[in-house]
């Protein structure tokens, strides 16, 4: 939706996925029947991310496009670093190496009360299956990251009409693009 | 063969593999039709290694067993760190984190002239398919690692009768075990 509004200049990607390796890793990570330890989970996300950056995101940025990614490095810091207890610094180091230091210009936190987020979470995957405890730890981690780096993060209240949320996100993006317009 | 000689106390594993995640990663890594960048390749090996250590190797060591692994962390340093040019220090850091610092007591380098190694390399996978250039860089890296840490490495000339090579490896292992015998 955001990308439709931005037109041809924009490219939408999602994590994990978007490359042959990434889609296979996605299938593995989302399979509730496969037990995966926290280190391997973090490393698999980082592998998918490395491919997405190398093959898709970096070439698009070099061509002057705007890339909108559904999740990125911070999701690993929240899920594996904080909620799984691996440590944010270590997970950050592995991931910064994986993406050769690429960082988003803007990161949106779409903030929802945990109960409403749970009601909307329809995906029947390993992460949803772990229930509210994991989700609350993840949410806390995102809130802390957004508060710690306000120049990059935009916290958007998402318990509203989707069109209103979309309008606010789009306005933020257009304002940022105006600052770097060709 | 080594494990047969050591009896029930020994457990043989191979990398990547040995766990549900590891076997799926193995299939992905060995598939010559899938293009994988160097960072993702290193991270996938590390993910498989993390699972193998957590679910198989560490429990076996805690039960007092001897674990013999066909390849381990040093293979990533040679292949991804040196031969792929990612840097040994960075690949080491990711992997030491993946295995929570576990290190082999003994590492065997079975040294073969490159031409003979190529003739024996019957596996039709991504690594063999890249040919002699990669294998020579890998071999150089192993030789340097073995020379730099002689207290852990045992360099065994492998261009001999297999029974002779086996006997030498077994003698080294038995001598090491005698030093820590219960």
pLDDT tens-digit series, residues B93-111: 999 999 999 999 999 999 9
Q: What is the pLDDT of residue B19?
A: 96
Query: Looking at chain A, which residue has its C-alpha nearest residue B40?
Result: A47
Q: What is the pLDDT of residue A76?
A: 97
> Do A45 and A56 form a contact (C-beta atoms < 8 A)?
no
Please determine, for residue A134, whether its predicted confidence score (pLDDT) is greater than 90.
no
Percent of chain B scoring above 70 in pLDDT: 92
Q: What is the pLDDT of residue B124?
A: 55
> Do A81 and A99 form a contact (C-beta atoms < 8 A)?
no
How far apart are alpha carbons A28 and A75 in whole angstroms? 18
Q: What is the pLDDT of residue A181?
A: 59
Please determine, for residue B133, whether its predicted confidence score (pLDDT) is greater than 90.
no
| Residue B127 pLDDT grade (very low, low, confident, very high; cuts 50, 70, 90) | low
Instruction: Report CA Rg, chain B.
Output: 16
The better pLDDT of the pair A118, A125 is held by A118
Query: Looking at chain A, which residue has its C-alpha nearest residue B22?
Result: A40
Please determine, for residue A1, whether its predicted confidence score (pLDDT) is greater than 80.
no
**Token pair listed for A90:** 């270590």
CB contact under 8 A, B44 and A46: no
A101 touching chain B per CB within 8 A: no
Mutate to test the interface with B, among A17, A35, A44 (most CBs of B within 10 A): A44
Residue B176 exposure: Cα atoms within 13 Å on the Cβ side: 17
Query: For B51-103, what is each residue's pLDDT tens digit?
Result: 999 999 999 999 999 999 999 999 999 999 999 999 999 999 999 999 999 99
Residue B8 CB-density burial (10 A; 0-12 exposed, 13-18 middle, 19+ buried): exposed
What is the interface size between A and B, counted as CB pairs within 8 Å?
Answer: 77
Those residues whose C-beta lies under 8 Å from the C-beta of residue A159, and which sit 6 or more positions away, are: A111, A112, A113, A116
Percent of chain A scoring above 70 in pLDDT: 92
């Amino acid at each position: 939706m955001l990308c439709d509004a931005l037109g041809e200049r924009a490219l939408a990607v999602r994590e994990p996925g978007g490359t042959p390796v990434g889609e296979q890793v996605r299938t593995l990570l989302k399979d509730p029947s496969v037990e995966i330890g926290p280190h391997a989970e973090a490393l698999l996300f980082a592998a998918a991310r490395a491919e997405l950056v190398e093959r898709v995101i970096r070439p698009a940025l070099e061509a002057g496009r705007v890339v909108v990614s559904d999740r990125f490095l911070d999701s690993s810091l929240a899920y594996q670093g904080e909620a799984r207890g691996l440590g944010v610094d270590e997970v950050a180091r592995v991931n910064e190496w994986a993406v050769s230091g690429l960082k988003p210009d803007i990161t949106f936190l779409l903030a929802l009360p945990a109960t409403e987020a749970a009601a909307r979470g329809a995906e029947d995957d390993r992460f949803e299956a772990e229930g509210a405890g994991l989700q609350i730890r993840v949410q806390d981690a995102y809130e802390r990251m957004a508060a710690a780096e306000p120049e990059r993060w935009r916290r958007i209240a998402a318990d509203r009409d989707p069109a209103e949320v979309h309008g606010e996100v789009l306005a933020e993006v257009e304002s940022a693009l105006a600052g770097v317009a060709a």
